Structure 1
Amino acid sequence: MSDSTTVHDIVVVGAGYAGIYTTIHAAQAGLDVIGLEAGADIGGTWYWNRFPGARCDVESIDYSYSFDKDLQRQWRWSERYATQPEILRYLSHVADRHDVRRHYRFSQRVSQARWDEDAQVWTVRTEQGLETSARWLVMASGCLSTPILPDLPGRESFAGDVYQTAAWPHEHPDFTGKRVAVIGSGASAVQSVPIFAESAAEVVVYQRTANYSVPAFNRPLTDEDWRAAQEDYDHRRELSWNGLAGSPWTSHPVPYDEVPEEEREAIFEEAWLRGGVLFAKAFQGLTARQEINDAAREFFERKLAEIVEDPQTLADLTPHGYAIGTKRICTDSGYYRSFNLPHVSLVNLRRDPIVEVGPSGIRTESGLREFDVIVYATGFDAMTGALTHIDIHGRDGILLRDAWAEGAVNYLGIGVPGFPNLLTLNSAGSPSVLSNMALTSEQQGDYALRLIAHCAAQGFTSAEVRADAAQAWIEHGAEVASGSLFSKTDSWYSGANIAGKARGFLPYIGGFRPYIDRVDRIADEGYTGFVLSTRTAVPA
């Protein structure tokens, strides 16, 4: 089937923060925009990740759009860190306010996109049979939107209930009195385990790698909090847009070496009480210098020892082998304390690996444990998976996953050599997950629409990245990453959680504001690094 014979100006794939922003502003610019979304409604990652305890690790008042000042004043966040239902209500409110849904075709999972050089258009098809065409293809399909399951022997044989945090049912299952296994110990496990523990008869967490998690210190936002936030909002936004991570928080102004040793503990304590990922901002260079990182790690270990009572469980929950902050610090509400409960336990898979999943439960080398429920909290094919899982064919039929077989090569995180008029938002090579995704989505969507408007004004039908510009950008990103401790850590930032995936630090680590300044300068120079043309010649 086809939506029409019309060639649209833009197809936007995805209806999360970036897709909603881009669709709103494309329509405001008078462009004919059609959106495609696999979910039955807007929300992106917040549509799918409905598991109990799901919560953002960026403060609510920052994890929101800045482009609509009236919206900013009128929408009242209830907590410091918003839960999934509240974020989804917010995005739904934005969609209603700006009439976003009329542009979207929901329950349409994109399976293929193909560039037609002669017609200078993209033809996009979905698994459900919809076909549509547009001059520009904007992939706002998300960094963490392609969930993965572990390749465990017998996984399909389990006779009980099976759930995945990244594709949680709309009707929450009742775990009362049930024996629950949680496989994985990343953010979704850290957030959900305390909730499961409230009603389940038993909760067993299967952990391969211990993660650093810092309490959220979440609380309701009082009327006084909200009045203060409104009075300071403009300044807070200014700090966020000019910061390294899209938030108003900065590291301690005095360098670590200049702070007396006896005063460092208080600074770490202050950062700890900020909560979650903000702990990594205690001192400048915390994720770059081993000495500072070691001090932060030792502080964390002292805090953990104050919480976890059992010595073996404490040892197993203590991260080893990588620097704190180089895997995203989790933000929890009672995760570690859950293991003090008599019905919650931990299996260290480094010491006792899974042998197989059977009809009644999970067998490790030490024996079989029987369960009623298995929850897979096993993460995503991050940053690139949402693109490489689609058959995206560029110039001469080249397939994007083949072009990226040795690693994602793009320019500014936005354009890919050999794929004219394809614009990828929050992809590898952009700050994306290392920044506040609400603001990065605005910046990325705005940049894509500026390029589209520039081409229309100048009469260009296509914009394609030069291969040498893309290679230079990737080399620059790798060089910046090599100066940090991130480069020494295997994580989903580098694709290490996916067997066979090319390794390389995927997000741009140079900082949100420096990135904006750099890409804006490129735009001001006429989009250097792109070939803008009405011709079909292959860029040099």
Structure 2
Amino acid sequence: MREPSPRVATDFDAIIIGAGVSGLYQLYRLRELGLATRVFESGSNVGGTWYWNRYPGARFDSESWTYGYSFSQELLDEWDWEEHFAGQPETERYLNYVADKFDLRRDIRFRTTVTAAHYQEDSRSWKIMLDDGTSCTARFLVTAIGVLSASVLPRIPGIESFQGQSCHTHNWPKEPVSFDGKRVAVIGTGATGIQAITEIAKTAGHLTVFQRTAQWSAPLHNARVTPEEMREIRRNYAEIFARCQETLGCFIHTADPRSVFEVTEEEREAFWEQRYGEPGFGIWMGNFRDVLVDREANRLMSDYLARKIRQRVKDPAVAEKLVPRTHGFGTRRVPLESGYFEVYNQPNVKLVDLAETPIERITPAGIRTSDADYEFDMIVYATGFDAITGAFDRIDFRGVGGTSLKDKWADGPVTLLGILVDGFPNFLMVMGPHAGLGNFPRAVEYTSDWVTALIRHARDNGITRVDATPEAAKAWTDHVIETNEGLLFTEVDSWMTGINRNLEGKQVRRVMRYSGGHPAFRQHCEAISAGGYRELSMA
């Protein structure tokens, strides 16, 4: 065994930032190693995404029984899912149940925000600064800060002048919010906006939707999980999780091996009707193999969904505004909806197309566009996130020689496996940039297990400094870029390509995720660990 050097005491063996899906599981795993671990969480409870995003209609689009943790048979045996696609309250209850069952809270410090983390070369440790002015040290620093956790308000003048109630969907109040009889505005029609709009329209006195970009959206087809279904799910958990490991996105859905052009028009239409009528992401992840790479195949699929929108929305002029013109189906993450398009048939709902009449400013009474002044009691900002790297940018991470992570990534992230960053020793990311996105907990469990194995290797061999080599980080980043070539989504402005029109410096497309699929991702990870971590510098 290698002798540890230098021998400098730290407050903790490891510090984890974030107590969401990733942080809870990583804490569980590091505890198994017997490591003194502390989690810092800015919220007042566990849950991460499912703690903060309490807006009406919030729910995930993975099947519930594929989304829960798989590591504990007891947990699988005890927990009954209520819906096939659980809403925020159910998911938050689940994560609280996990925290209680495994006594995780005793190692979590809530209402605490990490403001900075600086690597200390002399002690081979990290110094973590907190918002209360205190600090602590740890050998290893693990980020579990989420892909969509840094919320962004639009760059509209006058936001602070509005005299009614307003909030971003990410920072939704814990206390109940009533829309009864109120004039409500929702700005944004992405996945969050679609969910919130559908619910708010049910009770609002009047709802005005301000749409900048129309989205391709398909039915969720959610339903309650019956006791019989839950028993069947429980019997099949091993098969379900094995299936998730086989697919590119860790969902139960996989692409049809046929091309759009290998079937007749009638067969193609029947196949799309089947997918449109099924629950979940089958229409996106289980479509013909060339829909996301061939322009003509994508156009045909987009035309099919455009017809669906026109069938569901009674006013032809409104329907045309809801048909996307700037991107093809599936080139952005596809929102799943439960009656969204029918909302625009309601007399209490109005759609404002910002491509025609852009917002000029927020006023004390409401919103001013280029052609009208609107008065509101409430404004809801469903304007998304500074995705993937945004949460990293909001913490002052500094590596060897005081190098800023934000500066290092100014031209786009450079990582090894989306887990390590060269020049930032003992810094490990769970679901960082260049990781494979998809069914989140499935990817989280694998990545956290890999991180845990690396830390175990370091501990057992007396290693106190673990870093990616620059050559390995560049090679992985180049490979990530290559896996995105030929995919139509790379040509579209979206959070998946690093674009955010509400932020300065986020107007250039970057490769932010690995698109080679999770089976290939795991092969790369396992090759590195099986090869003795030659791509890492260890001391």
Distance in 2, Cα, partners of 1:258 & 1:174: 52
Q: 2:534 aligned with 1:528, yes or no?
A: yes
Amino acid at match of 1:505: V
Amino acid at match of 2:443: T
Q: Deviations over 1:366-402 (max 9, x none)?
A: 1101111000000000001111110011101111111
Correspondence for 2:516: 510
Amino acid at match of 1:183: I
Which of 229, 238, 244 is 1:240 aligned to? 244
Correspondence for 1:335: 340
Correspondence for 2:4: none
Kept in 2, the 8 Å contact 1:252–1:267? The answer is no
Structure 1 residue 448 displacement after superposition:
0.8
**Secondary structure of the residue that 1:455 maps to in structure 2?**
helix
Amino acid at match of 1:220: R
Distance in 2, Cα, partners of 1:226 & 1:449: 32
**Secondary structure of the residue that 2:176 maps to in structure 1?**
coil
Correspondence for 1:309: 314
Amino acid at match of 2:462: G
**Secondary structure of the residue that 2:341 maps to in structure 1?**
helix
Q: 2:423 aligned with 1:423, yes or no?
A: no
Which of 486, 500, 506 is 2:505 aligned to? 500
Equivalent residues in 2 for 1:377-526, closer than 5 Å: 377-432=382-437, 435-497=438-500, 498-501=503-506, 502-526=508-532
Distance in 2, Cα, partners of 1:36 & 1:242: 34
Structure 1 residue 404 displacement after superposition:
0.8
**Secondary structure of the residue that 2:360 maps to in structure 1?**
strand
Structure 1 residue 6 displacement after superposition:
4.7
Amino acid at match of 2:417: L
**Secondary structure of the residue that 1:113 maps to in structure 2?**
strand
Distance in 2, Cα, partners of 1:483 & 1:399: 33
Correspondence for 1:286: 291
Amino acid at match of 2:68: S
Q: 2:349 aligned with 1:344, yes or no?
A: yes
Between Structure 1 and Structure 2, how many residues are aligned?
A: 527
**Secondary structure of the residue that 2:328 maps to in structure 1?**
coil
Equivalent residues in 2 for 1:91-102, closer than 5 Å: 91-102=95-106
Structure 1 residue 322 displacement after superposition:
1.1
Kept in 1, the 8 Å contact 2:421–2:468? The answer is yes
Kept in 2, the 8 Å contact 1:112–1:390? The answer is yes
Structure 1 residue 277 displacement after superposition:
3.3
Distance in 2, Cα, partners of 1:64 & 1:416: 29
Kept in 2, the 8 Å contact 1:478–1:504? The answer is no
Kept in 2, the 8 Å contact 1:111–1:391? The answer is yes
Correspondence for 2:255: 251
Distance in 2, Cα, partners of 1:505 & 1:270: 33
Structure 1 residue 471 displacement after superposition:
1.5
Distance in 2, Cα, partners of 1:196 & 1:350: 23
Correspondence for 1:295: 300
Correspondence for 1:321: 326
Kept in 2, the 8 Å contact 1:66–1:72? The answer is yes
Correspondence for 1:72: 76
Q: Deviations over 1:18-70 (max 9, x none)?
A: 10000011101111110000000100011000001000010100011111122
Distance in 1, Cα, partners of 2:483 & 2:440: 21
Correspondence for 1:537: none
Distance in 2, Cα, partners of 1:232 & 1:276: 19
Correspondence for 1:536: none
Percent identity between matched residues is: 39
Structure 1 residue 526 displacement after superposition:
1.2
**Deviation larger for 86-95 or 128-137:** 128-137
**Secondary structure of the residue that 1:199 maps to in structure 2?**
coil
Correspondence for 1:224: 228
**Deviation larger for 169-178 or 266-275:** 266-275
Consecutive unaligned residues in structure 2, runs of 5 or more: 1-8
Q: 2:124 aligned with 1:120, yes or no?
A: yes
Q: 2:208 aligned with 1:208, yes or no?
A: no
Consecutive unaligned residues in structure 1, runs of 5 or more: 534-540
Correspondence for 1:134: 138
Structure 1 residue 345 displacement after superposition:
1.0
**Secondary structure of the residue that 1:392 maps to in structure 2?**
strand
Distance in 1, Cα, partners of 2:343 & 2:360: 26
Structure 1 residue 148 displacement after superposition:
0.3
Amino acid at match of 2:448: G
Distance in 2, Cα, partners of 1:457 & 1:6: 18
Which of 272, 275, 289 is 2:276 aligned to? 272
Which of 145, 149, 167 is 1:145 aligned to? 149
Q: Quote the RMSD (CA, aligned, Å).
A: 1.2
**Deviation larger for 439-448 or 496-505:** 496-505
Kept in 2, the 8 Å contact 1:276–1:332? The answer is no
**Secondary structure of the residue that 1:10 maps to in structure 2?**
strand
Kept in 2, the 8 Å contact 1:413–1:426? The answer is yes
Structure 1 residue 255 displacement after superposition:
3.6
Structure 1 residue 505 displacement after superposition:
2.2
Q: 2:383 aligned with 1:368, yes or no?
A: no
Distance in 2, Cα, partners of 1:309 & 1:261: 27
Kept in 2, the 8 Å contact 1:51–1:192? The answer is yes
Structure 1 residue 463 displacement after superposition:
0.9
Correspondence for 2:201: 197
Correspondence for 1:11: 15
**Secondary structure of the residue that 1:382 maps to in structure 2?**
coil
The normalised TM-score by structure 1 is 0.96
Correspondence for 2:87: 83
Structure 1 residue 291 displacement after superposition:
2.3
Amino acid at match of 2:383: T
Kept in 1, the 8 Å contact 2:10–2:125? The answer is no
Distance in 2, Cα, partners of 1:257 & 1:335: 31
Kept in 1, the 8 Å contact 2:150–2:391? The answer is yes
